[in-house]
Amino acid sequence: MKQPRKHPMKSPVQSPVQRSMNCLQLATVLLGCAVLTACTTTYVPPVEPAPPVMAEPTPEPAPQPAPVVVNPAPQLPPPVATPTPEPVAPAATPTSTLLASVQSAVAAGDLDRGAALSERALRISPRDANLWYQLALIRYRQQRFGEAGDTARRALSMAGSDAVLQRQINTLLQQIGSGAP
């Protein structure tokens, strides 16, 4: 799909403010005020929408030493012995297909392969914060704590306004911080 072109950095030089306005404009402005009083007082350029979270992650139970890898979305069948499960969910995307394979690999204990498949997904969608997070989880399970932390921070930098994902990443970062040798 073509991405809509965005101009987050465009800084317009404004022309002088029109000082004369008629009543209609005044009324429009007053209406606008009502809308705008709810907005922040600073100009915020349009930001990139939060990257779509492909599969809803479960919240982190505190006492567990290792984080649980993301559960599949409801429509997907549970991972079976086949190496690449067929995408059953409607409109499977390349990322969701690969994530399903990542889960299978991790469930089978093949963490290296899980990481390789996560990276394959990242090459397709490099701005997907959830994918970086999934890779960080795998590195954590592999006890590669330095890389897990780095990757988690990368995920955080892309999480935008996805508060749920940010919380999960921060939880992981805390665990790494406390548990790393």
- The site for other proteins (CB under 8 A) is made up of 1-3, 5-14, 16-18, 29, 32-33, 36, 39, 42-45, 47-48, 83-84, 87, 92-94, 96-98, 101, 112-113, 115-117, 119-120, 122-124, 126-127, 135, 147, 150-151, 153-154, 157-160
Nearest-approach distance from CB 78 to other proteins, in angstroms = 19
Nearest-approach distance from CB 63 to other proteins, in angstroms = 29
**How many Å apart are CA 87 and CA 65, to the nearest integer?**
31
- Between residues 6 and 58, which has the closer beta carbon with respect to other proteins? 6
Nearest-approach distance from CB 106 to other proteins, in angstroms = 13
DSSP sequence for 151-175: HHHHHHHH-TT-HHHHHHHHHHHHH
Q: Which of 179, 174, 180 is nearest to 60 (CA)?
A: 174
163-179 vs 129-141: helix axis angle to the nearest 10?
Answer: 20
